[in-house]
Chains A and B, each alone.
Chain A
Amino acid sequence: MSLSAHLPALQVVLPLLSAPLAVLLRHGGFACAVVTAGAWAAFAAAVGLWLQAGEVGVVSYHIGSWAPPWGIEYRVDRLASFVLLLVSGTAAIVLPYSRASIEREIPREQHYLYYAMFGLCLAGLLGITITGDAFNIFVFLEISSLSTYVLIALGRDRRALAAAYRYLIMGTIGATFIVIGIGFLYLMTGTLNLADMAERLRDVESSRAVLAALAFLTVGISLKLALFPLHQWLPNAYTHAPSAVTAFLAATATKVSVYVLIRFWYSVFGESLVYVELPLPRIMLLLSLAAMFAASFTAIFQDNLKRLFAYSSVGQIGYITLGLSFDSIDGLTASIVHLFNHGVTKAALFLLIGGMVIGLAKSGTVPPAPTFDRLAGLAKRMPLTCFGIVIAGLSLIGVPGTAGFVSKWYLIVAALEKEQFWLVGAILLSSLLAVAYVWRFVEVAYFKPAAEGTTRREAPLGLLIPAWLLVIATIWFGLDTSFTVGTAAEAAQQLVRVGK
């Protein structure tokens, strides 16, 4: 068999292998090279899989040639291939960035551990996305979660420990809920293969146990994806984790959780169960709206830029889940597009902030927190960094010409299709909150006078280039949407068709 037939396995195995290798090497530089190579290989595999899934619809791979439902199946449909691209692509950009970024943030002797954990986390996230087996999802979820706790705890600030601990507690509760849900499903169907499970669920559809499974899974996953008000772990984790970790998590961890939710809702339970038997859409709608307003509003009053954008993430996740509450192809498309666009935008933002704190630090010292009092007149000192943040901020607002506009457009089209005119107003009003928090940065960075004797001192190029790659992507996906919208629309149609 040729290499291309084994792409699904390689997709996970390569980054998974890079992690223990990094530990064995025990050297920051070598570890970085190995894990980066793993991530790039994973990205190449993701591109290959995206092409394959475009041709045949669904790529199914049987681990060890054991046919499903007995063996474990890796299953790549349009949605999975899209998320795989996002996750591996972000890793491929963040890893080279890490080298200069963690230099000051993590003690040198721990560098190889950072890369090992990063490789594990990447493998876990890719595994969740690619697998077609319910218990496998749980296993990979734990792999990615445990490595994430470590990554967050690597932050220099002691508060990083508390943040990681908090996330550990909440994440574990979420994982427990998920495993209970999966247990119920296994009990009722006797299978763990997702496709097979969906088949068999039709016979036992409205039994209490199945509904309980749906409820447990939804709540558990909502915790992982930071749905308001289960988002408490997120702001601290994003604020105190090392910059590169924040960027990677913001673009991938919550997004993969959304993916799992879509997977269970559409590919396992099916629309009738989710949208008719339980009032999930209504709950989702209310919580999404609460997130869009409460979290965005909280963001306006944050003093730490990382924290501000962390709250903004909670608000933006509200847009993604709002699309899910519509029960329509357009709504689902909007969710999937925003999942991708917001991932790219937030990664760009946090990478820029990472470069900014390094630029703010005196040489050889630990970078300070990016609080607003340190940002006065920053545009003079770091024009490129600040301009990048403004562009990414415009995308958060949803200004046309940026990626954020495209997702908002679809969200509004979906709301109009349902004739929910007040919802259109709500979506647009909440964008105005984004104007407020983005402009807070603009006013401080561009109008407050800088300290005397400030000279131009941009963030190091090694940090600026990866960040700007993503800023350009933010604009690119706002102008040429054939890839993002095209893939998302195909994915939504595939999900709804299969779910019927």
Chain B
Amino acid sequence: MTALHLAFLIPLLGALGIALAGRWPNLREGVTLATAALLFGTVLQLLEPVLAGARPELVLFELLPGLSIAFKVEPLGMLFGLIASGLWIVNSVYSIGYMRGNDEQHQTRFYVCFALSLASALAIAFAANLLTLFLFYEVLTLMTYPLVTHAGTDKARAGGRTYLAILMGTSILFLLPAVIYVWHVAGTTDFTAGGILPDGMDTGAVAVLLALFMFGTAKAALMPFHRWLPAAMVAPTPVSALLHAVAVVKAGVFSVVKIVVYVFGLDQLAGATDWLVAIAGFTIVAASVVALHADNLKRRLAYSTVSQLSYVILAAALLAPLSVIGAALHIAAHALGKITLFFAAGSIYTAAHKTEVSQLDGIGRRMPWTMAAFGIGALSMIGLPPAAGFISKWYLVSGAMSQGAWLALCVVLLSTLLNAAYFLPIVYRAFFRPLSADDEHHPHGEAPLPIVLALSFTAAGTLALFFFPDVPLALAQQLVKS
């Protein structure tokens, strides 16, 4: 029984335990926390060997002749696995505060689906070939569907419909044929350093294949297939935080980077990614403009996510080793920053029942921890020191310069300004505007303790990643070297 076996067994057994303990909420939440902690410990055990150059493998079984369901831990997957499993612990603490604070229904189903979603996210992180990746990509969509539609209202059902239609539609229409086509021309779908496509493949065919992959992984929310992400915001906030800021969307951009590096190879793609740079750039700017006009806080965060995800795609499409490092780092940096922002949004909702930006005047004085954490998250989104977003942006910009990609540079610059324009006013409102007269009569304080703990922790993490980026950086550098 290796650590890799355990990494899948623990969340599965955890889900079973949660289901069995459903009648005793304290025990159930205990099982969730224990599972999350055990899982993170297990994933952490893999880190040292991977940093030392080992690539632990696990072949489950042969799905089709020559095609296995197999796992292999490489640096990028290690990074994603660490983020997802690490943040699950924090998110579980947060969930407990949020779900109890808001008296949500069907909490057992919620925690079971959460554990299963995490198991699928890890399976995506450690997938050794495209088929395994595709299999768990679909499983993740299905496992998160009950979470998105958790409320069971008409609005939730409509959101779930959009969610499923876009994610499943694109993956069946674009991703699946791309996977099968790779299998058809390369005879393998194993992720291999330097790519697996045969040499001398027609540039046009490569570009079409790339397009199928990029639009097929709609979890990366490249426009025009980004609509599912704002639709998914009907979910309870912990779901938006962990899944739609970390696990699901990161599974998307992670797949993008992995496919670019391990299926195409940076060299093979030279000259075939100009259009992708343009579309990713457009997505960055357009989503930021939408975010600028969104008054609903979660909606603003959702469009900010769409925009930030395209940073990763842009970085990968630049094909420079430095920018690919930036892409990997941004997966980590954005995860920590965005989960903090969502935690803060949920905290405001739980304590003050407010959902719109325009209602937040003076709230910083009542919820200083929440809004301070929000400020740190916002800094990371803008890409200012001392937040983690600065480092990834640094590498991205260096990569763009090394390629002479001036369009990309302009996009990053513009987006930085836009990010500042839609995040800083919120912080300003919260701390410097007076409370409205109506609010004076409805006193409230901070959110429940688990919520405050969780968001303070991730905010601290955002800062810590700026000062100690060693481990993610080492993993990212290995990714480029290999």
List residues of A whose CB falls within 8 A of some B CB. 394, 397-401, 406, 409, 412-413, 416-417, 424-425, 428-429, 431-432, 435, 439, 443, 447, 479-482, 485-486, 489
Contacts and interface: CB of A to CB of B under 8 A. Distances in A.
Q: Is the interface of B mostly helix, strand, loop or mixed?
A: helix
B177 A412 contact: yes
B64 A429 contact: no
Interface stretch (B43-51, B167-175, B352-360): B167-175
A432 B173 contact: yes
Interface string B67-91: 0010000000000000000000000
B83 to A, nearest CB: 25
A485 B142 CA distance: 26
A419 to B, nearest CB: 10
B421 interface: no
Contacts of A429: 173
B177 A424 contact: yes
Contacts of B168: 435
B152 interface: yes
A224 to B, nearest CB: 31
Nearest to B169: A432
Nearest to A416: B184
Contacts of A398: 172
Given A399-B138, A416-B184, A435-B168, A485 B176 contact: no
Interface string B338-353: 0000000000000000
B154 to A, nearest CB: 8
B176 A401 contact: no
20 contacts: A394-B142, A400-B131, A400-B134, A406-B63, A409-B180, A412-B176, A412-B177, A413-B183, A424-B180, A428-B173, A428-B177, A429-B173, A432-B173, A447-B149, A479-B61, A479-B63, A479-B69, A481-B62, A481-B65, A485-B65
Contacts, number: 67
Contacts of B61: 479-480
B24 interface: no
A439 B157 contact: no
A213 B64 CA distance: 38
B181 interface: yes
B176 A482 contact: no
A431 B69 CA distance: 23
A428 B172 contact: yes
Contacts of A413: 180, 183-184
Interface of B: 61-65, 69, 131, 134-135, 138-139, 142, 149, 152, 157, 161, 164-165, 168-169, 172-173, 176-177, 180-181, 183-184
Contacts of B135: 400-401
Nearest to A429: B173
Given A401-B139, A413-B183, A435 B157 contact: no
Residue of B63, B131, B152 contacting most chain A CB atoms (<10 Å): B63
Contacts of A406: 63-64
Contacts of A412: 176-177, 180
Contacts of A401: 135, 138-139
A135 B27 CA distance: 69
Nearest to B208: A421
Contacts of B69: 479
Contact of A447 (B131, B157, B164, B173): B157
Given A397-B172, A429-B173, A432-B172, 17 more contacts: A398-B172, A400-B134, A400-B139, A409-B64, A413-B180, A413-B184, A416-B180, A424-B177, A425-B177, A428-B173, A435-B165, A443-B157, A443-B161, A447-B152, A447-B157, A480-B61, A481-B62
A424 B212 CA distance: 13
A424 B177 CA distance: 7
A435 B152 contact: no
B181 A416 contact: yes
A482 B62 contact: yes
A416 B205 CA distance: 14
Contacts of A424: 177, 180
Given A400-B134, A401-B138, A443-B157, A428 B184 contact: no
B142 A399 contact: yes
Given A401-B138, A416-B180, A416-B181, A481 B157 contact: no
B63 A425 contact: no
A204 B63 CA distance: 45
Nearest to B141: A399
A480 B164 CA distance: 27
A280 B458 CA distance: 65
B184 A481 contact: no
A450 to B, nearest CB: 12
Nearest to B69: A479
Contacts of A435: 164-165, 168-169, 172
A473 to B, nearest CB: 16
A485 B173 contact: no
A289 B69 CA distance: 31
